[in-house]
Amino acid sequence: MSTQDDLATSAWRAMRTLVLDLHDRRFAVSDAIGMTYLRAKALRLLLPGPLPMRELGAALTTDAPYTTVLVDDLEERGLVHREVNPADRRSKLVHVTEAGKAVAGQADRIQSAPPAALASLDAETLAALEQTLRALVQAP
């Protein structure tokens, strides 16, 4: 393994540890909104616009029956609604409601709050980190 590979692995481990081990907010999100994190993720995925059930399930990595259970629950809570997909009448489009947008926003605020260690970094370091992470997110 090359030095570059070693550095990339080390950086990835540090990011994973920071986000998933030290500051995992999934349980805080679930507690605050009163439902599973996966439901909050579904709402967030629907914010840009409606998705067919199949695409929502693929984005959530859930099978069709579980996607239906999840959407049924969100619909019962008034957070989404389904309609026939005009492009394919055999499928349904899932739309987020205003109430669903509010819940997704609450979940996003919880997840987006930086940990104290990050917030305490100086502006120059934060700017460099933000630029690096943005480049990684936008990389093909």
User: What's residue 110's pLDDT?
Assistant: 96
User: What's residue 116's pLDDT?
Assistant: 92
In the chain, which residues have pLDDT < 70? Answer: 1
Of all helices (H) and strands (E), which one includes residue 93?
strand 88-96
CATH of domain 24-114: 1.10.10.10
Residue 103 half-sphere exposure toward CB, CA atoms < 13 A: 28
Q: pLDDT digit string (tens) for 82-119? A: 999 998 889 999 999 999 999 999 999 999 999 999 99
Sheet holding 88-96, edge to edge: 51-52, 88-96, 80-85
User: What's residue 1's pLDDT?
Assistant: 61
Of all helices (H) and strands (E), which one includes residue 18?
none
